[in-house]
Amino acid sequence: MVKNRWVAVAEDRVLKPNDFPTAKSAQISAVNGGFCPFCQGNEAHTPHEITACRPPESAPDGPGWLVRAIPNKFSAFEPEGTLAEKKSGIYRATNGLGRHEVIIETPEHGVEFHELSAERIGLVLGMLKRRYNDLAADGRIKYIQIYKNQGLFAGASLKHTHSQIVGLPFVPAENEGLELYYNEKKSCLLCDIIKQEKEERTRLVHESDSFIALCPYASRFPYEVWIVPLAHQGHFGDLHEDKIMELASLLKDMASVIMNRLEMPSYNLIINTAPVNSGEAAPYHWYMELTPRMVVNAGVEIATGVFINPVSPELAAGILKEALSARK
Ligand SMILES: [Zn+2]
Ligand SMILES: [Zn+2]
């Protein structure tokens, strides 16, 4: 309403203070152990797997897998039914239609995402692509968000490394800048950003055959990095199989540099992509955001939406570029 935002409210759960990610993660790190449903051998403690990378001789929901996709047990969304709007006085609500899945990235506990081999990260990206395309085939889904919460301040509630994919029945407003730019200039904003960044080179961190890593102009978070495919492509689901390993090794490099150079911050990994089942994809160009969470959103960010970034992207790019070349 006032904020012009949709909020997903879980109606049927009562959470105790300790159930919230901050308190829970603090407890997990304090105990440094406890039961983990994502570990190999504990498959019976998760919902039935949707699919997994596993050798043909191993059975679903049993051990032996490499990467495993399961429904999110604590989803705020219901996968069945149709979208229905209900009004309550001046307020608008819909039922929580949507699909929410978890991709467990390794059977091994305690290995962080950036420590996985590039081959394993390639399997994770391949799985995310397949799940994206599967969710996109559901006409009720209009937007698919892939994200990863790494560490306490990024919202991780389980230590075992995993990413999540959520299919929403509406298109969130977060990337509408791409559409506004396209409508005004008849050109893709990300393609134009790539062109300018390759000329200026002040925010460029790395360029591979098919991808560019840069610290975006006026970024919201210190050391925020975007990985963008050089060729125009709207949907992450159209990522070519031949490019997956190149992307996996660049992603591993960038996540490693952030973790090692910045002393293991929490971070989010987000894949922004074109809406699905909603017409025009032309203004969209998918890309990945790596956002270290080194500062907490304070009053000014919450009140005005204006982010205060204490490290300029130009400075951050120089530091990350140097750390990357030291790694090579
Ligand atoms: Zn585990
Ligand atoms: Zn483009």
> What pLDDT was estimated at residue 29?
47
The residue ranges of DSSP E strands in 126-173, in sequence order, are 143-150, 162-168
Residue 2 makes CB contacts below 8 A (sequence gap 6+) with: none
Half-sphere exposure of 110 (CA within 13 A, CB side): 5
User: Any idea what DSSP says for residue 172?
Assistant: -
Evaluate whether 2 touches 134 at the Cβ level (below 8 Å).
Answer: no
Q: What's the 37 CA to ligand 1 centre distance in angstroms?
A: 6
How far, in Å, is the centroid of ligand 2 from the Cα of 262? Answer: 31
Per-residue pLDDT at 277 exceeds 70: yes
Q: Say which residue, 23 or 188, is predicted with more confidence.
A: 188
State which amino acid sits at residue 28: I
Is 276:144 a contact under the CB 8 Å cutoff?
yes
> 123 with 67: CB under 8 angstroms?
yes
Q: How far is the CA of 252 from the centre of ligand 2 (A)?
A: 24
Ligand nearest to the CA of residue 158, numbered in listed order = 1
Q: In 239-286, which ranges are E strands?
A: 267-272
* Closest-approaching ligand to the CA atom of 178: 2
Within 10 A of 222 (CB to CB), how many other CB atoms are there?
Answer: 21
For residue 188, give the ligand nearest its CA: 2
Q: pLDDT category, 126, cuts 50, 70, 90?
A: very high
Residue 292 CA to ligand 2 centre (angstroms) = 25
Higher-pLDDT residue of 90 and 185 is 185
pLDDT tens sequence across 36-64: 999 999 999 999 999 999 999 999 999 99
Confidence (pLDDT) at 1: 57
Ligand nearest to the CA of 231: 2
Helix (H) or strand (E) holding 211: strand 211-214
| Dihedral sign from CA coordinates of 79, 81, 83, 89 | negative
The β-bridge partners of 269 are 148, 290
CA of 176 to the centre of ligand 2 (A): 14
Ligand 2 geometric centre to CA of 232 (Å): 4
Asked if the model's pLDDT at residue 32 lies above 60, the reply is no
pLDDT band for position 30 (50/70/90)? very low
Which ligand is the nearest neighbour of the Cα of 286? 2
Residue type, 241: E
Q: What pTM does this model have?
A: 0.91
In the reported structure, the alpha carbon of residue 143 is separated from the centroid of ligand 2 by a whole-number distance in angstroms of 18
Cα–Cα distance for residue pair 251/327, rounded to 1 Å? 14
Residue 95 confidence class, pLDDT cut points 50, 70, 90: confident
Residue 140 has pLDDT above 50, yes or no: yes
* pLDDT tens sequence across 306-324: 888 999 999 999 999 999 9
pLDDT for residue 230: 98
Distance of CA 205 to the CA centre of its chain: 20
Q: To the nearest whole percent, how much of the chain has pLDDT over 70? A: 90
**Whose structure tokens read 């025009």?**
280
Residue positions annotated with a catalytic role? 162
Examine the pLDDT at 202 and tell me if it is beyond 50.
yes
Distance between CA atoms of residues 158 and 148, nearest Å: 11
Q: Residues with Cβ < 8 Å from 187, sequence gap 6 or more? A: 181
- Give the model's confidence band at 82: pLDDT under 50 very low, under 70 low, under 90 confident, else very high: confident
Rounded Cα distance, 57 and 48, in Å: 18
DSSP assignment string, 49-107: PSEEE--TTSPTTSS--SEEEEE-TT-SSBSSS---EEEETTEEEE--B-EEEEEE--S
156 CA → ligand 1 middle, Å: 13
